[in-house]
A and B are shown apart, each in its own frame.
Chain A
């Protein structure tokens, strides 16, 4: 074990204690009639206003892992890592209109998950189950990654032991998180998000003003980065994009933006808001977090200029690039400030982990438990089931980290992004039209999923010594449609998720045309056009937490 960093630990401990108290107190915050209903436990009563929603969704989307991994990506590969920027620039305008429709129809019909909507729109258990399972599988590794973020901070503070001892602080933090999420539901992360986000804003603004001044200005930082990348043999890194990875940059940004609100935890944050105007305001306000993310990303270059070296993870024996930003703070700032920064990242892991586990628990309860195991479950039974499921999900994520190489969850998260994108036709397009036939959507999902996974499996990463799942960048030359290669010899790279999505849409369209030609039954739509426009002030609105 390294030497424990006491000042940092004390500050971290104090702030962790504060959010723990908040987490437990949250069950009484803006409490509704009962917590024994998914509308209350799983969606915070569906009445969060603009500010709470801003903190909640901001805390939900801009996770600890993002704050640790994106700068690490710039540190390692340069410009390519900055894709998070165009990604978050286009995400909000893209989802602005569809999200309003999703909110309205869910409010009107009492839907708790995106899969609930699919079930109502197509009346198909199969399609809804596919969407729900995709959501759960894509979310699980994401929760595990929050632990990676939290652990990178704990290791930098000195808890860098091998084996079980090294994971113990993480385990304790997570048990506490699990208990108050169980008790308070979505209100816990909503309240903690205030603390997390205020800390994050302070830390990053200070760092971004102070570090460049200390290191000799941005031009020194960028020249140091340029020097580093020109000294490596790889053609894939650099301060600018190369000719081959520009398409990858753009398609990865587009694919990630399209996937963002398909993730169940993002939908949970959206459905918990009070009304359409709350969401509209947030589409303009959430990009404030993107500015932070962009600035933080550049600290990856600052770490190059400062000569920061990644900590060696005592559990795996390899340098862990995710410790770059924590190490940078540790090296460059007084201990008390580093302590605040670490708390920001650590608490930043708790908020999304809580929301994600609630979202996965909602999916399990509504779309598996109620659908297959206990058809006539009462709202109270649903709530109890979801609370238990949130525990299972969290300990599943801890088990991921304890017993399996963390690299595995990073790979899985990469796969998860490609997978969740395949629910776009069934969820996002279905918000607008039922043109796609239910069997078309099932076939498209199957095609996109299979092909996407096959392509990911085939991508090696020689630098990391991996033969499979080495990344999401596919050289166009490798595209192979039953023996036909559209772009032989091309080195240009593209994001696998987009390729799979195109295949998904194409198959869905063909099967739709065929199914319509033979008049195959297309399920029953239990939504009405008016459902997609309801708002908070409507008179005959469905009451929250009604059975």
Chain B
């Protein structure tokens, strides 16, 4: 997608795990949860459901972080040896 392909590193790196980041968007579909029942601790569904939405968002971002951090995000700009890679993933 980069305007100038063919440089030493690809402009876009894609991991299927990234697709998880789309899931939290369902909270924009208001008809799903715009109602009173079932209430929780006296709180209408509309309100507590959106707190659950936070948890879903956190789960998605955390999972993407876990699943994509193993591979080095920066590919060889110059020569990287094994020790350098270890240092990078050790943080």
Contacts and interface: CB of A to CB of B under 8 A. Distances in A.
Interface of A: 79, 82, 85-86, 88-90, 92-94, 96-97, 100, 104, 217-222, 239-241, 246, 249-250, 253-254, 275-277, 280-281, 283-284, 287, 290-291, 294, 298, 432-435, 525, 528-530, 532-540
Nearest to A278: B91
B80 A525 contact: no
A88 B22 CA distance: 14
Contact of B36 (A85, A221, A240): A240
Interface residues of B, number: 57
B75 A533 contact: yes
Contacts of B88: 535, 537
Interface in B30-64: 30-31, 34-36, 39, 41-44, 46-47, 50-51, 53-54, 56-58, 60-62, 64
Nearest to B63: A284
A90 B57 contact: yes
Contacts of B36: 239-240
Nearest to B49: A85
12 contacts: A86-B50, A89-B56, A89-B57, A93-B60, A93-B61, A104-B74, A240-B35, A280-B61, A283-B61, A287-B58, A525-B4, A529-B2
A222 B78 contact: no
Of B31, B50, B56, B64, the most chain A CB neighbours within 10 A belong to B50
A353 to B, nearest CB: 27
Of A93, A100, A246, A253, the most chain B CB neighbours within 10 A belong to A93
B30 A96 contact: no
A298 to B, nearest CB: 7
A284 B62 CA distance: 6
Contacts of A79: 34, 46
Contacts of B23: 93
A97 B20 CA distance: 12
A275 B90 CA distance: 13
A333 B81 CA distance: 61
The 5 A-B pairs with the shortest beta carbon distances in the complex, nearest first, are A219-B42, A218-B42, A434-B3, A529-B11, A530-B9
Nearest to A533: B74
Contacts of B2: 433-434, 529
Contacts of A88: 54
A229 B41 CA distance: 21
A240 B1 contact: no
Given A93-B60, A539-B78, A219 B7 contact: no
A280 B69 contact: yes
A247 to B, nearest CB: 8
A470 B78 CA distance: 57
Given A537-B87, A537-B88, A435 B3 contact: yes
A240 B47 CA distance: 9
Of B36, B41, B61, B75, the most chain A CB neighbours within 10 A belong to B61
A540 B9 contact: no
B61 A284 contact: yes
Nearest to B41: A218
A533 B73 contact: yes
A432 B2 CA distance: 7
Contact of B69 (A221, A277, A540): A277
Given A218-B42, A528-B4, A535-B88, 6 more contacts: A94-B25, A220-B42, A250-B28, A281-B65, A530-B7, A539-B78
B31 A246 contact: yes
